[in-house]
A and B are shown apart, each in its own frame.
Chain A
């Protein structure tokens, strides 16, 4: 522990409303903290710039999974363990269930929250590719009101999001209309568990007589934010998954990813493996 914990403050307002009131008064003062699985790593390394924290970990208003016939709504304070244990998510949203199982260690999954994973805005985070593929919407809440936007519009740039300092991410909603879809997801990390991804894809496709009628591809660690690979999707849409489609899709993918060399891997490895995973997915559509 290289930080002096006496240099930090933590407050824990009793309710969501009280929390939003504090953020409304002086949002620049506090950084919300839920599971802390990201912030504590920085604290330990003495690289945590923020000094004042507002705990939202205990807010039961944020920790729920609400499944209706049409949609599943997940509170931002829901842990990965909560997600892994939910029967409807396991059957209806396998990509999200799988992503939750890949996140950190069991201890991380017990503390870490879906909302934290999103607002931390790491391009390598495990759940965003699935949420992008499912076309999730996110609801943001503040003392002055709420707004709901497509998750795909949430990330603006590297660690930049549309979330205002006085806002909290309240919930994530996914429609339950993926019954006939073929799913594919694969994470390539530094090892098989407790790993940060070098590349990850989460994909959905709907086939009609061998022709791809709908396709969604979410990706991690290939850009400065989690991305939907829309150009790649367009190259596949309304095509049968043939070798020429696959070749076109690989080419399209290369135009829209911006991988980098970093501490975990290299740009060229990431680009090559992303294309391999895409091809592996598309081959499952060839029947």
Chain B
């Protein structure tokens, strides 16, 4: 037996790492099934209208193809998420560009593109709605601009969902808030906007579907394998599309090359499509999008507009706030209501608000549906808040640091939803450490001095924020997640979960938790491929919930295995608050209660005991189901209570340069400090933070979806500009570890957290460098140029990147016959 691997708090190699680096890992496009055909999608060329005819070009021999339309759907023509407004295939109305209308399959994938082009669809064209403002006009009564029919789906015209979140139980809360505004020394208002963002997972969306028939020829079952985050979401979608029971809809996750939320809701669409083609053709059917199709047709981050109106006292105390959050949900409801919920709850940030009202709404437009993306609403509303806090500081005459210090939430305080913060919260300490690590004060003074003469202006800024771990509100109760551990005939534990690995480390950290609890080497633990025929529903792999919620269930199931085998329970190491060294696996991180020899002993002992148990009883499967802590309560109607079991807290510091010759802003240094409970795997945790910061830098300064009539026109990696390593600064990752009772060994969620802080920290730094308070991202050099050179502050004149002409590209031949 090899030397026992390190366990929780150390960095063993990833479970699937060797297969990935040696090229053995099978992604969906590597897999070919016997007799497999290939599928393609005919999409709308307009944003809004009605289909008037569909004609098939006689130049193509259509008898070779399988053609699926909405009429072929055996069940309901819907992609189910929260409601049934989203058709699987458009049959009559078109609500966004690139909407799927018809599906084709053929044994030779090379002929598909020409066939797609040879399906001629004509339309009656209606004017589209492409902005939150236009959608609001429809919501306000202009029926020509109503693009979403709310009937039967909740909501109201053009409005998928609204939330009203009010601090306090007093029925007079509103008048108390107004009174606070009346007596305030300052009232500070601001409007902030964020753009759409593409996930840019390395592997595009792709699936292979099979349909099986009963002896009488009727459809018996469906199996879909592919790249995804949430196999059971797809099971649910297939149940409706095929009118089959859940056990007849089998979903298998294949190795997944990145997701970031982009494979949370969308696989329900592509998975249903491939399954329809498989059903009709009688062949397995693979659909893998190319990058251009993935970019125009799949989900993006919700664009947002957030307005703040804040009452502040002369000494910098927040007295009252009114926040309006509006997000653009695109053409269908999909997950917009839950994205909006997270945006709403994170809008007040880590601050104490005596009086607060947040009004939030998700609006419909004729753009492909926006969906889940790392952060899930929080980056949008936290961008607004953390820019606004700097604006308030300026108005009151305090430093950004001092303003925040006077308003931070602390242990024992209540959040805006009334959640009592019983876990330790130390934003003051985090801010002190982050500013110290980044040498903030000295740099601020230095830049103030050197900027007077330099053409390159430097700035430093920060953002303070938090991210709720796990599903919002009563979500975890409803999910009712289940985890199993099955003992193999060799006496090894195999973890059975639907929680998926897509680069973030699910397999590895769950194995660490299991190994630590069973006191066996990490290498002894197996993880089953997520296959809904085998694994229980441990919930979707989203919402920063896997380490904390599923990890805790793995810990409990492992304890149950020990109990069944009559082995002594694991004595958890004493939980204590301390700082971890930056990304390192120091000897201090080794589990201190067992030596390597003792690990080996317990591994042998475990196997022997397990095999003996199997001989006596036949099998051993332990399970653990989520049990909501009885002190957690959430009221969905009042929007009050414990919004999340716990939060990860953070302060990020960005250092920027703005070149006054080129108007290019670059991030030159970055410090990310967060309290994440317990770092399970230092290398993976550091990687999560670095990757999130890089994605946040892209969100702030590079990545702009350029739409024309609702269609993304820069749908290639040559013109959707994500930062490369040459654009990224050193990213210094620092952790504090204040354990939470909700996660294994005290761990909280970190997956989404690093997406929330970079954008406001960077724009705060740019304001320091230039003196200009930018309020919108992405902020490109053309936008900075507009403000520094031409357009007076406060002017309504649009310019900068608004003037991009995406149909013109003189560099490439692509535009030549576009």
Q: Do A and B come together as binding partners? A: yes
**Closest CB of chain B to A249's CB: distance in Å?**
15
Instruction: List chain A residues, Cβ under 8 A from B799.
Output: 266
Binds A, one of B73-81, B742-750, B801-809: B801-809
| Measured CA separation A196–B718 after assembly (Å) | 8
| Measured CA separation A42–B808 after assembly (Å) | 15
Interface check A144, CB cutoff 8 A:
no
Interface check B714, CB cutoff 8 A:
yes
Q: Are B719 and A272 in contact (CB under 8 A)?
A: no
Given A261-B808, A276-B661, is A42 in contact with B813 using a C-beta cutoff of 8 Å? yes
Instruction: List chain B residues, Cβ under 8 A from A1.
Output: 290
| Measured CA separation A44–B663 after assembly (Å) | 33
Interface check A46, CB cutoff 8 A:
yes
Indicate the member of B290, B718, B800, B816 with the most A CB atoms within 10 Å: B718
Instruction: List chain B residues, Cβ under 8 A from A265.
Output: 781-782, 804
Interface check A9, CB cutoff 8 A:
no
Q: Are A188 and B664 in contact (CB under 8 A)?
A: yes
Contacts of B261-286 to chain A: CB distance below 8 A: none
Q: Contact flags (1/0) for B695-728 with A, using CB distance below 8 Å? A: 0000000100010000001101011010111110
Interface check B399, CB cutoff 8 A:
no
Q: Are B785 and A269 in contact (CB under 8 A)?
A: yes
Q: Contact flags (1/0) for B629-669 with A, using CB distance below 8 Å? A: 00000000000000000000000000000000111101000
**Closest CB of chain B to A238's CB: distance in Å?**
26
Q: Are A41 and B724 in contact (CB under 8 A)?
A: no
Interface check A264, CB cutoff 8 A:
yes
Instruction: List chain A residues, Cβ under 8 A from B812.
Output: 38, 41-42, 122
Q: Are A192 and B813 in contact (CB under 8 A)?
A: no
Question: Contacting B813 at CB < 8 Å: which of A38, A263, A273, A277?
Answer: A38
Q: Are B814 and A47 in contact (CB under 8 A)?
A: yes
Q: Contact flags (1/0) for A189-203 with B, using CB distance below 8 Å? A: 011111110100000
Contacts of A47-87 to chain B: CB distance below 8 A: 47-49
Instruction: List chain A residues, Cβ under 8 A from B443.
Output: none
Q: Are B808 and A280 in contact (CB under 8 A)?
A: no
Q: Are A123 and B810 in contact (CB under 8 A)?
A: yes
Q: Are A5 and B110 in contact (CB under 8 A)?
A: yes
Interface check B216, CB cutoff 8 A:
no
Q: Are A263 and B808 in contact (CB under 8 A)?
A: yes
| Measured CA separation A38–B816 after assembly (Å) | 13
Indicate the member of A158, A193, A265 with the most B CB atoms within 10 Å: A265
Q: Are B663 and A273 in contact (CB under 8 A)?
A: yes
Interface check A233, CB cutoff 8 A:
no
| Measured CA separation A157–B785 after assembly (Å) | 29
| Measured CA separation A159–B810 after assembly (Å) | 9
Q: Are B810 and A262 in contact (CB under 8 A)?
A: yes
Instruction: List chain A residues, Cβ under 8 A from B790.
Output: 268
Q: Are A123 and B811 in contact (CB under 8 A)?
A: yes
Q: Name the CB-closest residue of B to A280.
A: B661
Q: Are A124 and B810 in contact (CB under 8 A)?
A: yes
Given A47-B816, A124-B810, is A261 in contact with B804 using a C-beta cutoff of 8 Å? yes
Given A41-B813, A46-B113, is A264 in contact with B719 using a C-beta cutoff of 8 Å? yes
Given A263-B706, A263-B714, A269-B782, is A191 in contact with B810 using a C-beta cutoff of 8 Å? no
**Closest CB of chain A to B106's CB: distance in Å?**
11
**Closest CB of chain B to A123's CB: distance in Å?**
5
Interface residue count for B (Cβ, 8 Å)? Answer: 47
Indicate the member of B110, B812, B818 with the most A CB atoms within 10 Å: B812
Question: Contacting B718 at CB < 8 Å: which of A6, A41, A260, A273?
Answer: A41
| Measured CA separation A195–B376 after assembly (Å) | 30
**Closest CB of chain B to A276's CB: distance in Å?**
4
| Measured CA separation A188–B780 after assembly (Å) | 13
Q: Name the CB-closest residue of A to B783.
A: A269
Q: Are B662 and A263 in contact (CB under 8 A)?
A: no
Contacts of A160-212 to chain B: CB distance below 8 A: 188, 190-196, 198
**Closest CB of chain A to B115's CB: distance in Å?**
10
Indicate the member of B113, B666, B801, B814 with the most A CB atoms within 10 Å: B814
Q: Contact flags (1/0) for A250-287 with B, using CB distance below 8 Å? A: 00000000001111111111001100110110000000
| Measured CA separation A262–B790 after assembly (Å) | 20
Q: Are A273 and B716 in contact (CB under 8 A)?
A: no
Question: Contacting A49 at CB < 8 Å: which of B292, B801, B816?
Answer: B816
Question: Contacting B814 at CB < 8 Å: which of A41, A159, A267?
Answer: A41
Indicate the member of B110, B662, B726, B817 with the most A CB atoms within 10 Å: B662
Instruction: List chain B residues, Cβ under 8 A from A276.
Output: 661-662
Interface check A3, CB cutoff 8 A:
yes
Q: Are A262 and B804 in contact (CB under 8 A)?
A: yes
| Measured CA separation A255–B48 after assembly (Å) | 44
Q: Are B804 and A266 in contact (CB under 8 A)?
A: yes
Instruction: List chain B residues, Cβ under 8 A from A124.
Output: 810-811
Interface check A45, CB cutoff 8 A:
yes
| Measured CA separation A77–B664 after assembly (Å) | 35
**Closest CB of chain A to B799's CB: distance in Å?**
8
Interface check B111, CB cutoff 8 A:
yes
Given A190-B721, A276-B661, A277-B661, is A3 in contact with B811 using a C-beta cutoff of 8 Å? no
| Measured CA separation A41–B814 after assembly (Å) | 8
Q: Name the CB-closest residue of B to A42.
A: B813
**Closest CB of chain A to B782's CB: distance in Å?**
5
Interface check A244, CB cutoff 8 A:
no
Q: Name the CB-closest residue of A to B806.
A: A263
Q: Are A191 and B782 in contact (CB under 8 A)?
A: no
Q: Are B110 and A6 in contact (CB under 8 A)?
A: yes
Instruction: List chain A residues, Cβ under 8 A from B292.
Output: 2, 44-45
Interface check B789, CB cutoff 8 A:
yes
| Measured CA separation A268–B292 after assembly (Å) | 29
Q: Are A261 and B813 in contact (CB under 8 A)?
A: no
| Measured CA separation A69–B810 after assembly (Å) | 38
Given A47-B816, A49-B816, A273-B663, is A263 in contact with B726 using a C-beta cutoff of 8 Å? no
Q: Name the CB-closest residue of A to B788.
A: A272
Instruction: List chain B residues, Cβ under 8 A from A191.
Output: 702, 721, 723-724, 726-727
**Closest CB of chain B to A172's CB: distance in Å?**
20
| Measured CA separation A264–B804 after assembly (Å) | 7
| Measured CA separation A196–B111 after assembly (Å) | 32
Q: Are A2 and B810 in contact (CB under 8 A)?
A: no
A-B contact pairs, 23 of them (CB 8 A): A2-B113, A6-B110, A41-B812, A41-B814, A42-B813, A42-B814, A47-B817, A122-B812, A124-B811, A188-B662, A190-B719, A191-B726, A192-B724, A192-B727, A261-B804, A263-B804, A263-B805, A264-B809, A264-B811, A266-B803, A269-B782, A272-B789, A280-B661
A-B interface, 8 closest residue pairs, ranked by CB to CB distance from nearest = A193-B726, A192-B726, A262-B808, A276-B661, A124-B811, A4-B110, A42-B813, A266-B803
Supply 8 further A-B pairs (C-beta < 8 A) apart from A41-B814, A194-B724, A263-B714. A41-B718, A124-B811, A159-B816, A192-B666, A192-B727, A196-B811, A264-B804, A268-B785
Residues of chain A having any CB pair with chain B under 8 Å: 1-6, 38-39, 41-42, 44-49, 122-125, 158-159, 188, 190-196, 198, 224, 260-269, 272-273, 276-277, 279-280
